[in-house]
Amino acid sequence: MLRLEFEGYFQMRMATDPDPTDELRGVSGYTFALAGEPDFDAKIHLQPDEPGVWQRNFGPSNQKVPRVGVTVRRATQDGNSRPDLVGARVAFVDAQILEHNGMLVRNDMFIIDPLRVRVSAEDNGDVLLEREDWLNPANPQMPQWEADSQMLLRRQPKRFVTNSPEVAAATGLPDASNKSLIENRKERRKSLEALLKETKDKTEQAALETRIEQLKIVEQWWNLSQGSWNERPIDRRAYTLALQLEGWDIDVNGHVYRNALGGDETRPWPLRFWMGGWDGDALCAYLRGSWEIPLL
């Protein structure tokens, strides 16, 4: 058995509720394709050189912000280390998280589709492994809207975890408390305000002003359900920094496009991962998981 353990930040430029997921610019949610930026593509980008990635400027905090790049951090074969595979690049080719306003996805969870996993060598970019997963192995060409609940559940996380210590540790937060999450957004806002003062380009100024306005909203100022103005619930712009979507567990079962490492193509290749730490300003989140390849 070959086991690849991977992690890193990915980018997903997409609109948020109440916008539909196919909104191209962002209108009524809290994520936007800003002035000077291309339209959203709603795809999961695990590598910085994939078409569609747009990494923003963060001013003085540029060294402490999400940077796209998911790589193999540990590789073993039958318990023995495979250092030659450490640093390999992982990609979900053309993957999207689909929601479609609840019509496709049950229980407000997300389905990843298509799911085609690729691992490429760090040094020369040669593809080492690539395989896709089929919602319905009996009918690989079946459209998404014909999938039954069990087929969709295979592609969904099993649970949502708020204030996750695992996410906080992975993304460098001091802890997963609401106080730390709010403080992180305040620090980002200060950094962008400093960047705005030295920015001369009018288009860049407009984009920064929108980002700063969104970062000011760290509590639900309209929600007085706790009975006090000073005890308002934390807003999603802040709490998603430690939100974890946990339990993706997919036996990748479909066509093998590349198999340079000798995987057994007659058996599924188990893929397990979580996503979390969504940063609505960077349009990035963290991914950690493993891919197990039974060998011939």
87-102 confidence digits (pLDDT tens)? 999 999 999 987 654 4
CA distance 283 to 211: 11
**103 pLDDT band (50/70/90 cuts)?**
very low
Q: Which residues contact 36 (CB under 8 A, 6 or more apart)?
A: 203, 204, 207
Per-residue pLDDT for 108 more than 50?
Answer: no
Give 115's strand partners. 133
Residue 227 in tokens: 């009975």
Question: What average pLDDT does the segment 33-48 reach?
Answer: 96
Four-CA torsion 242, 119, 147, 105, nearest 10 degrees: 20
Output 182 or 105, whichever has higher pLDDT: 182
Confidence of residue 114 (pLDDT cuts 50, 70, 90): very high
- Its sign, for the CA torsion 139, 142, 146, 149, is positive
Greater pLDDT, 17 or 7: 7
Element housing 288 (H / E)? strand 284-293
pLDDT digits 0-9 by tens, 241-289 = 999 999 999 999 999 999 999 999 999 999 999 999 999 999 999 999 9
DSSP codes, 47-66 = STTSTT--PPP-GGGGGGS-
Cα 251 to its chain centre, rounded Å, is 20
Whether 8 has a pLDDT exceeding 70, the answer reads yes
Q: Does the pLDDT at position 163 exceed 70?
A: yes
Residue 230 DSSP SS3: helix
User: Which residue would you say has higher pLDDT here, 121 or 108?
Assistant: 121
